[in-house]
Structure 1
């Protein structure tokens, strides 16, 4: 167990010392100067009954996103093949559901998972709340990881979401881990949370058993029509501190520099990589928000001397 006081001490130390410690730990556990490319597909968009204040896919908010039902299997397979050709080794599929539905739709998701795994890629899904029996079926289909973010601290969580509880999220994470599926679990900075909230989120993540294999660190991308549309853009240094602390607390995890990257300069992103981030999303969009282009990322990699993983290392 890591104490809250220990997390506070790590997070609040001088930035140069924090990044040095994080980079030192990173080099002990991971390939240096290399990141994993992931592609995220929005396989079912909009009309979600949840009230997450940051999310344009909520049916409660008037946003301009496209609403569509679960994509055909063939469409998703073609997306995954294209992602692999573009260098991604992990293909993530997100559906705007509160709870994973039983029936034909879930059966189709299972087929998608199997097809992605058959391509030699890591298969990840984020589908909402999940029962143990559903987790078992996903594991049998070949699922690598299940994404279910905690978003923020338990204390601040009710300010952002009221339609499900923090314990609901933890139950889904427990169901996933019990089936041997890797847990992908992180959070969002820039929701209006305090520094202490970020510290408490990292404390919770570090004390999950097992620790998450994958930790996405997202910066809010405010979307017009959502309650957080006027939220202040978070300073890049907040991302760097959050990533560095996550790297120190969860040495073996893949720390993913996720949403909000389009607002970061190459220098900002370089600091995040120095702090221990070793994965980015290579997609036209992250579900519904803007993401840097593949060409922009290739240019950044060339400037920084960073390579994309060509294969998935054994972890």
Structure 2
């Protein structure tokens, strides 16, 4: 009886790179939905296309050069930076404090976690509409509530005053995103080894010293993740500003952010004519913003990861 041939051993190439076959479908999908549209967008940004008709010509990097001297771009980026700084401080203070309280396993803990995380899963458009109604000087709840508790002097036209409009956007954004900071910090707190805290207590450390000297350094990965996610989220802010303040960032562009600036540049607005629409210029701003955000995120991750290693 003829014996069957022994199976050939896998080649060195298959042993080294065979796993790439499992990555290939996802990489092809990534090419289809990410890189190809990105390449098309870059090609459009090198033209003067308005987005209407077929009248366009190649202008090279002129759009990018114009952005560098385009004042509204810097104004909008400055507003995004203010929102980022305020939200970051809020999440690393209030969010961390609430996470510490929840980590003590209080009564009705699951209820508290659900209520605090609920704003995160709400639609940003719905959130904007709800807060628009609440802040309305005519039918809103905020002004009557302030009057009822003796703070009537704080009543005002919240979204009509340039000095308070951006603060309202920050407050609504903080309320909407607070759940992320609580969940991320709570996860980090629950992963701190109890042995470390017990050892510090045995050495005579009080509860405050245990937290700042033992627990807080262990939260470095959570701090890094939350900082990077907050940066990405705040510089992508659009929905809340668009619903509450409109595409012009009213009043008087005091709430204008990069998202609304790019939107009205590429697609126009209620007060825009077709001659004001510059689709290719808006695409160029979006791509430049993406490149700058990628560079800053890389720098943040590298800096904060280095801090994690030191701690």
For Structure 1 versus Structure 2, the TM-score category normalised by the shorter chain is under 0.3
TM-score, normalization: structure 1?
0.21
Query: Greater strand percent: which structure?
Result: 1
Q: Which of these two proteins has the greater Rg computed from alpha carbons?
A: 2
Q: TM-score, normalised by structure 2?
A: 0.21
Structure 1 or 2: more helix by fraction: 2
